[in-house]
Amino acid sequence: MPELPEVETVRRGLASRVVGRRVEHVEVGRERTVRRTSREALIAGLTDTTIVSADRRGKYLLCPLDSGETLMIHLRMSGRVLVVPAGSPRPPHTHVAVRLAGAPSRPPEELWFVDPRTFGEVVVYDPDRVAVELPELARLGVDPIAEEFTRRQLRRLLRTRSRQLKQFLLDQHLVAGIGNIYADEILHAARLRPQRPSDSLSTMAEARLHTAVLGVLNAAIEAGGSTLRDAQYVDLFGSGGSYQEAHRVYGRGGERCLTCGVGWVRRIVVAQRSTHYCARCQR
DNA sequence: AAACAAACCTGTGCGC
DNA sequence: TGCGCACAGGTTTGTT
């Protein structure tokens, strides 16, 4: 479910509400959520630490702790992070509950990790041993809204090897954070077909793609991400995003294209993912 | 090497 | 109203 804009929205919530606070107590329900290590390891790694900052790389949330270790949360398909007043009734599938100490002007709160499908995970790891403890994180590609994601960088990556643009955008080892929704929206904005070989783009088309990546992701962050019908994704405080209202192709298979008004949005399968595009305006 | 399938889970929406 | 099936925002692992 959550892609870069949703994870970034959660990160901002953590930065404003959780950073600087001390962890008093940790409960782990379902052990699958902490499968990378163990229930005991998460409790020991978090209890009596203070969260120093809230960072993100691709779809990974990274919260360095004053212990020198880092809390990593990945939402995968259905994970949510919520902050609620301490003692609030817990919804089903609350797998981790962290009590944050109160302060003179601040009531104690709890940070929950809620995840019906249990694909998500929570782990405390040693950043000096990231290659061993979280190898995927160590191999992650460039974050597309970071400064180093330049047109030149994109061009280099596109030409490393020829593959379909959709597959290119979804490959977290190349560019980290784009998922199925935003890949389709980005390619529509860039007027490029998902099946187009990545090494076949003109300089102009590469520039359009670069602009589309930044434009779509930043607009989606601005809108607080996309919350689909099932309302799976919400931010730290339980609010949904509104970028779904700006989707031009995702979930619109069979409808007339909103951009050209002439073509029809097709739904096909590319790189084993449902893919939406306008055959008229995307080439 | 690359394409594809399956796996991990639960919930929801649809057709009948 | 109920039932069964297809399908879902992600990622890894295993198989052709």
What's the pLDDT band for A103 if we cut at 50, 70, 90? Answer: confident
For A191-219, how does the pLDDT look when each residue is reduced to its tens digit (9 = 90+)? 999 999 999 999 999 999 999 999 999 99
Active-site residues of A: which are they?
A: 2-3, 59, 273
Is A269 among the domain residues?
A: yes
The pLDDT value recorded for residue A105 is 82
Asked whether residue A74 falls in the same domain as residue A19, the answer is: yes
Is A217 among the domain residues?
A: yes
How many separate domains does chain A show?
2
Does A256 contact strand B, using a CB cutoff of 7 Å?
no
CATH number of the domain that residue A121 is part of: 3.20.190.10
Asked whether residue A156 falls in the same domain as residue A253, the answer is: yes
CA distance A244 to A70: 32
For A130-144, how does the pLDDT look when each residue is reduced to its tens digit (9 = 90+)? 999 999 999 999 999
Across all strands, nucleotide nearest A93 (CA–C1'): B10
| A130 exposure class (CB count in 10 Å sphere: 0-12, 13-18, 19+) | middle
Across all strands, nucleotide nearest A78 (CA–C1'): C9
For residue A202, the enclosing domain spans 151-278
Whether residue A1 is predicted with pLDDT greater than 80 in this model: the reply is: no
Asked whether residue A113 falls in the same domain as residue A219, the answer is: no
Interatomic separation, CA of residue A240 and C1' of nucleotide B15, rounded (Å): 30
What's the pLDDT band for A148 if we cut at 50, 70, 90? Answer: very high
Residue keyed to tokens 């699958």: A32
Whether residue A182 is predicted with pLDDT greater than 80 in this model: the reply is: yes
Across all strands, nucleotide nearest A227 (CA–C1'): C9
Rounded to the nearest angstrom, the gap between the alpha carbon of residue A261 and the centroid of all alpha carbons in its chain is 31
Whether residue A232 is predicted with pLDDT greater than 90 in this model: the reply is: no
Q: What percent of chain A has pLDDT over 70?
A: 100
